[in-house]
Structure 1
Amino acid sequence: MDGMKAKIALVTGASSGIGEATAVRLTRAGYKVYGTSRRGAQAGNRPFEMLSLDVTSDSSVEAAVAEVMGRDGRVDLLVNNAGFGVAPGGAEESSIEQARSIFETNFFGLVRMTRAVVPHMRRQGNGRIINISSVLGFLPMPFGALYAATKHAVEGYSESLDHELRTRGIRVSVIEPAYTKTPFDANFIEPDTKLDAYHEAREGVTRRVNEVMATAEQPGVVADIVLIAANAAHPKIRYAAGKLANRLRLLRRFAPAGLVDAGIRKDLRLDALPVRTARSF
């Protein structure tokens, strides 16, 4: 960084997809990057170092952050990216255990990382935290209720946290991508309590998601926005990442709620499904 000591970045979920693209982009911009994954260092020619870290484990998070602090004495940027999704399915098609599992990674994992890093940033008097959210953090998707719920939680947490930390030189932003070509989408966990009542709708939504994914943007689009947020003198709370995400953000903000609602149902072809009502006696 122009002869200055490189800033230290910690990126979770960096073994592939958005996390890997972000770690590479930050490295090329002059950051010293530590990527993390549950499997730690893996075969591959990456320009950044990988650490073993499981965001669902207090001890694993503490050990990884302690390792970075021991090596470099600071963390300037935390990118919370680790997460997973459930394949399209009705809200009642995931058990309570599955619901807890997705929140444990997507939300509580992010909270764990933040709690481990913020004390060091406070002592430094500066730092950036960037949380990878989704357009589903502001525009819920039918048959994606649990994932959308975790991203709504991330957005609320992030905005509150930014207010708390701003006077200490620390800023918090969320990045909101739409469909992105990553292994994340190819490795959805299936709902664990599938019901015949939702079969037709579930299959229809899955087909539509696959159609859109065929033309989805590359993870580098998201990585570029992360770098903008990390380096901004006056960072925004929210950054949409990509053309579709920006269009959806504008629609959510300016279009009548009824129009947005109808558009979602039309796009997912939900109103083409037969209406089933309870039999009256």
Structure 2
Amino acid sequence: MSKTILITGASRGFGKLWAKALLERGDKVAATARNIEDLNDLVQTYGDAVLPIRLDVNDREAVFTAVNHANKHFGRIDVLINNAGFGLFGAIEETTEQQARAQMETNFFGLLWVTQAIIPIMREQGSGHIIQVSSFLGLVTLPVLGIYNASKYAVNGLSETLASEVKSFGIKVSLIEPNGFSTDWSGASAVQTEPNEVYAPIKQAFAEGATPDSWGKPEATTNAVLQLIDAENPPLHFLLGKIAYPGVKQVYSERLAEFEAWKEVSTEAHGH
């Protein structure tokens, strides 16, 4: 049975790719983008099955209007893919206030506004699946991506809490957590800080550590995402790519060992 999916940030990258895959198999898609002309090819190919919506997720009022418009147009929304976001590259010391706030406004607050707008609709339906496009950098960190890491940690904390709050309403929550993929995230969509030379060695080591094999092929994610959408019991955390799992496993193993090493001190701090 076909589903109705709302995808934010559908003009490029994962959003565009997944929108096409869903439309291709017969689903209906409400696709949002800041530049609605970027969705013309979807409309020309798939006609009434796609509803293009101009939207900047930073505008909370516009978000609620857009989500309600999509629901009224199609009659329901089965799945939300909260995909809008961008990467901010640079050391934490280099980051301006404007850059830091812009990163959090889009990656965290924009996602929050769309989430808040969709919950009443799915609650009334008694069903729904909220899929947040986070990152494996919401579980582990890499240098020169500090504010981006922080935005995704915030998304993960929000979404884990959300899952416990909406479960009784029949709403499922999943976090897609990709490692690096060859999308516009690190290219045209990215923002760079003004470099401070003291961080040049760290940036060089970071760049040299990434081999061509480190970056996944975006097209290869389609089948996995369709399986996630169709799953009766989808996971809360869903890693994408072969780099994510070993990276997360290593960091979490080290983290548990550190907790264990300081356990007695930590326990004594409870006081009784």
Aligned to 2:63: 61
Aligned to 2:28: 32
Aligned to 1:159: 160
Paired letter, 1:94: T
Q: CA deviation at 1:236?
A: 1.0
Count matched residues.
251
Aligned equivalents of 1:229, 1:37: Cα separation in 2 = 23
For residues 259-281 of structure 1, the C-alpha deviation after alignment (integer angstroms, 9 at most, x for no partner) is 9xxxxxxxxxxxxxxxxxxxxxx
TM (norm. structure 2) is: 0.85
CA contact (8 A) 2:130 2:172 kept: yes
For residues 182-203 of structure 1, the C-alpha deviation after alignment (integer angstroms, 9 at most, x for no partner) is 11211221114x3232233224
Q: CA deviation at 1:217?
A: 1.5
SS where residue 100 of structure 1 aligns? Answer: helix
SS where residue 30 of structure 1 aligns? Answer: coil
CA contact (8 A) 2:22 2:29 kept: yes
Q: CA deviation at 1:258?
A: 10
Q: CA deviation at 1:225?
A: 2.7
CA contact (8 A) 1:135 1:245 kept: yes
CA contact (8 A) 1:133 1:177 kept: yes
Aligned to 2:237: 238
Aligned to 1:127: 128
SS where residue 128 of structure 1 aligns? Answer: strand
Aligned equivalents of 2:209, 2:250: Cα separation in 1 = 20
SS where residue 35 of structure 1 aligns? Answer: strand
Aligned equivalents of 1:51, 1:207: Cα separation in 2 = 40
TM (norm. structure 1) is: 0.82
Structure 1: runs of 5+ lacking an equivalent: 260-281
Aligned to 2:150: 149
Aligned to 1:12: 8
Q: CA RMSD in A?
A: 2.1
Aligned equivalents of 1:234, 1:101: Cα separation in 2 = 35
For residues 173-226 of structure 1, the C-alpha deviation after alignment (integer angstroms, 9 at most, x for no partner) is 00111110111211221114x3232233224424544x44x6522223333332
CA contact (8 A) 1:11 1:35 kept: yes
Please, which moves more after superposition, 99-108 or 66-75?
Answer: 66-75
Aligned to 1:264: none
